[in-house]
């Protein structure tokens, strides 16, 4: 009985909304479809199609640069949005930075290792401590489930020298 006022409030709120029953049914149907589609994509590692013209790049570093450690690495992406990992929103993903050329399997989610860094909060730069010498860097943009897009949205692999 204690719950009755809450239930009544919810009913009052629901009836106050402008949507019709048919609208609500369509919303639930769309939500169920999206959930089923996400579930299948995750279970089957289905790659997300890359939006036309999407590309990833390093706005502040270029191949052959000499830098000192720690180095700020800025991530650039265009024609696609950024969203936190785990959030399935069409036309979005998050950055992954590959350090020193790890092998990536494009058909499964990228692992999180010292050489494959995820920026699942939607970060667009990081500060890296690197040992002196040559290092390669590459961006591979990933979808909500940490998998590369198809075709992959990735930067050129650049080699930098750390003093
Ligand atoms: Cu990731």
The number of CA neighbours under 13 Å toward the Cβ of 112 is 7
Poorest-confidence range of 28-37, 47-56, 97-106? 28-37
φ, ψ (nearest 5 deg) of residue 9: -60, -45
Structural domain range at position 27: 4-44
* 18 and 94 housed in the same domain: no
pLDDT at 5 over 90: no
* 71 and 116 housed in the same domain: yes
160 Cα–ligand 1 center, Å: 24
| 49 occurs within a structural domain | no
Are 81 and 89 in contact, with CB atoms under 8 Å apart? yes
**Single pTM value for the model:** 0.82
pLDDT at 123 over 90: yes
* 124 and 71 housed in the same domain: yes
The total domain count for the chain is: 2
Residue 17's pLDDT is: 58
Residue 3's pLDDT is: 57
45 Cα–ligand 1 center, Å: 14
Return the SS3 of 146.
Answer: coil
* 102 and 139 housed in the same domain: yes
46 Cα–ligand 1 center, Å: 15
131 Cα–ligand 1 center, Å: 24
| 118 occurs within a structural domain | yes
* 61 and 127 housed in the same domain: yes
* 94 and 122 housed in the same domain: yes
| 50 occurs within a structural domain | no
* 130 and 72 housed in the same domain: yes
13 Cα–ligand 1 center, Å: 39
* 74 and 30 housed in the same domain: no
* 59 and 134 housed in the same domain: yes
Structure confidence at residue 20 as a pLDDT band (50, 70, 90): confident
30 vs 65: which has the higher pLDDT: 65
Structure confidence at residue 25 as a pLDDT band (50, 70, 90): confident
């Amino acid at each position: 009985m204690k719950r009755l006022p809450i239930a009544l409030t919810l009913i009052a709120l629901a009836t106050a909304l402008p949507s019709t029953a048919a609208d609500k049914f369509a919303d639930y149907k769309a939500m169920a479809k999206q959930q089923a589609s996400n579930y299948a994509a995750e279970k089957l590692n289905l790659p997300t199609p890359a939006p036309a013209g999407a590309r990833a790049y390093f706005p502040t570093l270029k191949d052959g640069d000499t830098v000192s450690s720690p180095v700020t690495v800025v991530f650039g992406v265009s024609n696609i949005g950024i969203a936190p990992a785990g959030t399935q929103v069409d036309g979005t993903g998050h950055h992954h930075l590959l350090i020193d050329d790890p092998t990536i399997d494009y058909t499964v989610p990228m692992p999180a290792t010292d050489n494959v860094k995820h920026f699942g909060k939607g970060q667009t730069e990081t500060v890296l401590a690197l040992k002196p010498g040559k290092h390669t860097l590459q961006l591979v943009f990933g979808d909500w489930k940490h998998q590369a897009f198809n075709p992959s949205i990735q930067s050129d692999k650049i080699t930098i020298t750390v003093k």
